[in-house]
Structure 1
Amino acid sequence: MIFSMTGFAAVQRELAEGTLSLELRAVNHRYLDLTVRAPEELRSFEGVVRERIAAKMARGKIECRIGFNAQAAGAAALVLNRALLQQLVEVSREASALVPAGGELRLGELLRWPGVLTQATASSEALGEALQALLDEALAELAASRNREGEKLKAHLLERIAGMEAIVADVKPRVPQLVIEYEAKLKARFLEALGSGDDDRVRQEIVVFAQKIDVDEELSRLGAHFSEIRRILEKGGNVGKKLDFLMQELNREANTLGSKSVSVETSRASIELKVLIEQMREQIQNIE
């Protein structure tokens, strides 16, 4: 599969103690650039989050936002501090024995005592387990998003390759005749200038120049690059850097084709190829 470096995922999970949420945003970048933003109670898990994301992403600028909204006061389960309550009861009885007129503490007074009733809070371990499960879910959603975008990029690149193959297929059969026609024009100019058709030096110069303007080798290399790009796209994986290198090679051959051009046809072919190559290069910057 081909993965784009652009994607988004947002997931959340309702816990007994509150709502845990996680967002992943990814855009293209030359290397892996990861930012994690987490609340204080989850800051200790930042290292684990980074490791899990890095195991799934090779390149891209990725922002991970983690949120935790605890339940509102009164909504969370109450926890009775039995040890403190027992201690208060015993102290109340001792005090009542010393001052009988005062009476013992009533149940309502005991329950209102600071620390006797507390709201349940998520343990660090429970939050960590929930966070890792939520992160795995977000990474799967992000991968699906990046794959959908990657398949679109793949289709775009294959379309441009087909366009370039058509250009090469159109101009390649005509190259030998174009070279012959240009040789004839060149010979005619030499004859006009020198007044002799038997000069060995003239014939040698024409042969040498004809070799210099022959673009058959460049067209063959372009075809080989097209095949390699198709192979890479079908194989999939982390192919962005390989494709970027091949764009440089394609551009080099297209430039050489233009510099050797002796006809309108080859000059036009060179320009059209470079336009398509540039379109591909822009899209490849988004591929992992």
Structure 2
Amino acid sequence: MSVYSMTGYANVVSSVADHDAELPEDSDTPGASRKAGSGSVGAELRSVNSRFLDLSFKLPDEFRGLEPAFRDLLTAAFKRGKIELRLQAQRTSDSAWPQPQPDQLHTLARLEGMVQNWLPKAGGLTVNEVLNLCRQSAPSVKLDDIALEAVRQCVEALKDARAIEGKRLADIIKDRLKQLRELAAQAEPLVPQAVQRQQERFLAKYQEALQAVGGNVTPEAAQERALNEAAAYALRIDVDEEVQRLKAHLDEIERLLRKGGEAGKRLDFLIQELHREANTLGSKAAALELTQISVSMKVLIEQMREQVQNLE
């Protein structure tokens, strides 16, 4: 399963012609078997990151009644993000030349004959009058079904766009994970080296102290004292626990990226834990190299945080 970005854009135009919309067969409108005019609906979805799912709608008045259906479509497809839906409707039947149907013309001829039978001086219908009457008797284009289909298609397009962006973000995060693992591997051997150097310093200082007091302390006692101090120092600067926890968090982040789905909140929590371990490692740094590694880790973790905050 993919991970999804909360950032995306999609637009779809769906028309009556695309769906072969027709009037109901039981319609009593003259020419009911013909196509129900022409029109189209444009749907546009914009999505940005948000802690929760935040929906907003900018709809023509004729589609206000469909807002609950639109909301159901969006909540079924998305779990997080600030998403805005815009709809625009266009109708072309009012301005286009009508196509009179045989049953329309038959009805008009029958009505004209009836009127002229009662009113012999009444004039016949002109071509313009026939066309206007055919236009007026044509059913209005109802675009509710077209609007629903446009939104369905737009939702799928937005999911695809968010999946593509999510893959790009996941690749960036995986690259940072690789770099963090390399830094952790560099940090592990530095602590024993620092302890060894400090132990040598302790021994040198105790030997100097031994000479200063004129040999009242035996060399064995001085060495034992130096080793105890070195052991206490090693405990204070030991970062093995932090490095192991950091590796465990990196493993969990990789697992969540492979699993996909709604991983954003979990990943955000793990990023906070990574930052905590990097801070602790820096505070225990007994060598300049460890301090530099800690700073580099925090830079990478902050870059990951920026990407994770865009994931659903």
Alignment TM class, shorter chain as reference: 0.7 to 0.9
Query: Which stretch of the first structure deviates more once superposed, 34-43 or 105-114?
Result: 105-114
**How much is the aligned-residue C-alpha RMSD, in angstroms?**
3.1
- Decide which of 139, 144, 148 is 1:120's aligned counterpart: 139
Change (3 A) 1:191 1:287: farther
TM-score for the superposition, normalised by structure 1: 0.84
The whole-number CA distance in structure 2 between the counterparts of 1:116 and 1:90 is 18
Q: 1:1-288 to 2 correspondence within 5 Å?
A: 1-15=2-16, 16-71=37-92, 73-75=94-96, 77=98, 93-94=117-118, 96=119, 103-108=121-126, 111=129, 117-118=135-136, 119-123=138-142, 127-186=143-202, 188-189=204-205, 198=221, 206-288=230-312
Larger deviation: 52-61 or 70-79? 70-79
Structure 2 residue identity aligned to 1:247: I
Residues 47-79 of structure 1 deviation map (CA, whole Å, 9 limit, x = unaligned): 111110111111111111111111163416468
Report the Cα offset of residue 184 of structure 1.
3.5
Structure 2: stretches of 5+ with no match in the other structure: 17-36
| CA–CA distance in structure 2, aligned partners of residues 219 and 131 of structure 1 | 55
- Partner SS, residue 247 of structure 1: helix
> Hey, which bits of structure 1, 4+ residues long, moved more than 6 A?
81-89, 112-116, 199-203
Identity percentage over the alignment?
Answer: 37
- Tell me the secondary structure at the aligned position of residue 188 of structure 2: helix
1:180/1:89 Cα in 2 relative to 1: closer, same or farther (>3 Å)?
Answer: farther
After superposition, the Cα gap between the structure-2 partners of 1:84 and 1:185, relative to the gap in structure 1 and judged at 3 Å, is farther
The count of corresponding residues between Structure 1 and Structure 2 is 279
2-structure distance, mates of 1:206, 1:109: 109
Report the secondary structure of 1:237's partner residue: coil
- The structure-2 alpha-carbon separation of the partners of 1:2 and 1:223, relative to structure 1 and needing over 3 Å to count, comes to same
Give the Cα–Cα distance (whole angstroms) in 1 for the partners of residues 134 and 291 of structure 2.
88
Quote how far apart the aligned CAs of 1:260 are. Answer: 0.5
Provide the TM-score with structure 2 as the length reference: 0.78
Letter in 1 for 2:77: K
